[in-house]
Amino acid sequence: MLDETLLMEEIRQWSLNVIENPMEDFNDLPACPFAKNSWDQNRVKVLVGEGGLWTDLIDYIKNFDDSYDVVVYCATDYDEISAEDVAERIDILNKELVIEPVISVLTIVPS
């Protein structure tokens, strides 16, 4: 089982090292200029998923409030489903559940 605290620390380090640093490709701006502020304001939440059909994520989306700018959902079943299945689930979530234009679901699959 994933440790939520360790996972949060790893994602925070990734954010610091990857998306918050100025990048030449972005005219020396960070890939995500809003990430640092969201972390600094404690507006990032990391959820360790239950696996299966991601019903816990569906419930979270249905009951979403604006306490957080970013919610990172870490599915624990990534070794049991294909990348195509993940993409299909994300597509369905974005089409069927995400009603606010500022909310979207995306995925990063470990290699």
pLDDT at 111: 46
> Does residue 19 sit within a domain?
yes
> Does residue 108 sit within a domain?
no
**Whole-model pTM?**
0.77
| 106 pLDDT above the threshold of 70 | no
> Does residue 110 sit within a domain?
no
Radius of gyration of the chain (CA): 15
Domain count, the chain: 1
Question: In terms of pLDDT, which residue wins out, 51 or 36?
Answer: 36
pLDDT at 101: 52
> Does residue 103 sit within a domain?
no
> Does residue 46 sit within a domain?
yes
Range of the domain at 91: 4-97
> Does residue 105 sit within a domain?
no
Contact by Cβ (8 Å): 48, 76? yes
pLDDT, tens digit (0-9, with 9 covering 90-100), for 16-41: 999 999 999 999 999 999 999 999 99
Per cent of the chain over pLDDT 90 is 28
